[in-house]
């Protein structure tokens, strides 16, 4: 099946970017195709649209499912499984970030906690310990902030992000109020 050139370019670019973000190119292309497909697609349709083998599609689908980025849909009267992504791009982004946190941030935080608990205060390594503590505290703060952001619905999250540097004005106001009451 022939895909329009602008859609093909999008899928190709998504594959290139995905490989830079640590995803297999084919997995990224499958995800891109499903994100822009109005209707759920089965593995044969994905294979045909992307001109890749059915086995590559199956492996890609499994990988995307492990990241919680796909939903499997059954169509009555059809024995094939169909796949789609969230209709909400913000939800898709939150899921991706959450999965990256689980895979990358949480293990680092656990390692830092373990090292900080094992520290030997008799050794002269204050600088290293302090730096590890700073990293731990920064990551903990990020995880806490991220958890709070995950609870926002997409509309509110978008509104917050649009504030951009306007957040400084809010912080300046709270600083002034704190100064008046102190």
* Per-position pLDDT tens, the chain of length 182: 678 899 999 999 999 999 898 889 999 999 999 999 999 999 999 999 999 999 999 999 999 999 999 999 999 999 999 999 999 999 999 999 999 999 999 999 999 999 999 877 666 678 888 999 999 999 999 999 999 998 999 899 888 888 887 888 888 888 888 886 54
Where in the chain are the domains?
5-84, 89-155
Structure tokens at 113: 């906690």
| 12 in Cβ contact with 29 (< 8 Å) | yes
pLDDT at 182: 44
Give pLDDT tens digits for 78-131.
999 999 999 999 999 999 999 999 999 999 999 999 999 987 766 667 888 899
What are all long-range contacts of 97-105, with beta carbons under 8 Å and residues at least 24 apart?
97/146, 98/68, 98/150, 99/67, 99/68, 99/69, 101/143, 101/146, 105/139, 105/142, 105/143
In contact, 97 and 146? CB cutoff 8 Å: yes
Query: pTM, whole model, 2 decimals?
Result: 0.81
Edge-to-edge strands, sheet with 41-42: 41-42, 81-84, 71-74
In words, the CATH class of domain 5-84 is mainly alpha
């Amino acid at each position: 099946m022939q895909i329009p050139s602008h859609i093909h370019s999008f899928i190709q670019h998504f594959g290139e970017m995905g490989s830079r973000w640590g995803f297999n190119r084919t997995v990224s292309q499958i995800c891109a195709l499903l994100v822009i497909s109005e209707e759920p697609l089965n593995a044969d349709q994905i294979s045909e649209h992307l001109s890749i083998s059915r086995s590559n599609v199956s492996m890609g689908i499994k990988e995307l499912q492990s990241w919680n980025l796909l939903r499997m849909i059954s169509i009555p009267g059809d024995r094939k499984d169909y796949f789609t992504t969230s209709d909400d791009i913000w939800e898709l982004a939150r899921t991706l970030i959450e999965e990256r946190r689980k895979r990358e941030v949480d293990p680092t935080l656990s390692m830092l906690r373990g090292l900080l608990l094992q520290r030997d205060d008799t050794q002269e390594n204050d600088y290293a310990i302090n730096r590890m503590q700073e990293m731990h505290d920064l990551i903990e703060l990020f995880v806490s902030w991220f958890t709070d952001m995950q609870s926002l619905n997409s509309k509110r999250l978008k509104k917050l992000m649009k504030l951009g540097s306007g957040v400084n004005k809010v912080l300046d106001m709270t600083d002034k109020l704190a100064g008046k009451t102190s």
